Amino acid sequence: MEFYDYNRICDDVVINTITAKVVEALGKKMEELKEQQDSPFVYGIDGLARYLGIGETIAQEIKNNREIPCSQRGRKIWFKKSDIEKFMQKNKV
């Protein structure tokens, strides 16, 4: 009579399932980041903050002060990378 460690088998199944889900989610995120990299736009305040290397609060202030032009439809907001580059050139330290 063979002895199977059913707890270990269940743990392995759970680990494999979680691993597969994580790999799938990372793949989707990588595709999304690749699309954003190729895009002429930066999306959202968080995207602007990452692009400029600043905090989201400062990025929001830049947007509110209209220092960088943006487009907005509903809650979606986007900035042209060329406008961000102009802002960066104008505000070099």
pLDDT digits (tens, 9 = 90+) for 7-53: 677 778 888 888 888 888 888 778 776 766 788 999 999 999 999 99
pTM: 0.62
| 1: pLDDT strictly greater than 70 | no
Position 74 confidence tier, pLDDT thresholds 50, 70, 90? very high
The CA distance from 56 to 54, in Å, is 7
Domain ranges of the chain: 1-38, 40-93
